[in-house]
Amino acid sequence: MTINPRKTSYLFLMVLCFSCTEPIDVDQLDDASLDSSYLITLIHLNLKAPKFLDALNQEIPVTTDMVSMPDSDDLYPYLKRVTFTVKTRNTFARNFTLNILFYDADKKLIYTLKPVIIVPANSGELTHILEIPENDINIIYSTDYLGMTMSLWKSTTGAVINVTDTSEFNLKSSMKLYFNFKKV
């Protein structure tokens, strides 16, 4: 008896296609989700004494910085959480207060993240993590600019910052967006 290789191949292919298979439930795809996160570097500063002084060498009590916010409108239904990490090192003999601020396209303040960050005098590296409350998460979609305000506390000893002061204030900040991509 001769075996036809072509017929044997077809028979083998038929057995593979119809044996040991279950119906595919494509409705399972509706329950699928993908968690992901995206880290954005925001502000990185290394400030020395002259940055806290005006043209007359008088202390500037408040300093601000602002950066453009990446567009996130396409991610609207998927954003689940936003955290900010702020790392500071302060060698000045003065405390600072930091605020993270959200601005619209006209650079008008629309939201202030709480709590404020207190950076103690002569502090080593500190890490502060703040999170936008779940109820306020939609503020991200109205935000075109992120800002930070640094307020220099008044001296309790009467000491002032002068132009020859060698102290530094270092700040690194980032924002992490957490997504859950699921069919809506």
Name residues of the chain where pLDDT drops below 50.
none
Let me know if residue 155 belongs to a domain.
yes
Let me know if residue 141 belongs to a domain.
yes
Let me know if residue 101 belongs to a domain.
yes
Measure the CA–CA gap between 14 and 47, rounded to whole angstroms: 74
Let me know if residue 17 belongs to a domain.
no
pLDDT score recorded for residue 31: 65
pLDDT score recorded for residue 179: 85
Let me know if residue 26 belongs to a domain.
no
Count of the separate structural domains present in the chain: 1
Let me know if residue 12 belongs to a domain.
no
Let me know if residue 11 belongs to a domain.
no
pLDDT score recorded for residue 36: 84
Angle (nearest 5°) at CA 112 between 44 and 144? 65
Structural domain span for residue 132: 31-182
- Which DSSP category does 153 fall into? P
Measure the CA–CA gap between 13 and 6, rounded to whole angstroms: 11
What residues contact residue 102 under an 8 Å CB cut-off, 6+ apart? 69, 109, 110, 111, 112, 113, 139, 140, 142, 143, 145, 146, 147
Q: What are phi and psi of 7, to 5 degrees?
A: -65, -35
CATH value at residue 52: 2.60.120
pLDDT score recorded for residue 181: 77
Let me know if residue 13 belongs to a domain.
no
How crowded is residue 147: how many other Cβ atoms within 10 Å of its Cβ? 20
